[in-house]
Amino acid sequence: MNNFEIIKLNNEEDNILIVMKTSEPPFDFLSEMEEALRNIQYLGYVTIDELLHSGNTEERFIQGFFNGNSFENGKFKFTVIEKKSKLREYACEFLRKDIELLHFTGLTGRQQRLIECGCVI
């Protein structure tokens, strides 16, 4: 299983979303992310959804700049994404399809039930 999924977005502000598929920190996979972004010849901002690592907190989304070869060091920052943003849907949809993984996350029982019912958190 891949530890993350790269999703191309049609949005001026956010061009690439990386959804983490593991509870491990996303920074453990930076070299793999950089390789994948180089393979698609990407240059620009990247948003990382680390719901499985940090939960549904203010530290869920991280934004960084990929310069075409690597992420710029020290340029990562936590970013707040609106509750009704489409960016939140991708991780929830992934978990809805993998119920077994959903139940092994650090999410609360209530959050798990919301995702199972099709809600976006």
Mean pLDDT of 68-94: 92
pLDDT at residue 77 tops 90? yes
Residue 116 phi, psi dihedral angles, 5° rounding: -60, -35
Domain count, the chain: 1
Amino acid at 100: E
Exposed (0-12), middle (13-18) or buried (19+): which is 79, by Cβ within 10 Å? middle
Closest CA to 8 of 30, 37, 51, 50: 37
In a domain, 85, yes or no: yes
Taking the whole predicted model, whether its pTM rises above 0.85 is answered as yes
Q: Tell whether 121 is covered by a domain.
A: no
Write the pLDDT tens digit of every residue in 9-61: 877 566 899 999 999 999 999 999 999 999 999 999 999 999 999 999 999 99
Cα 118 to Cα 19: distance, rounded to the nearest angstrom: 18
Domain that holds residue 88: 4-116
**Three-class SS of residue 66?**
strand
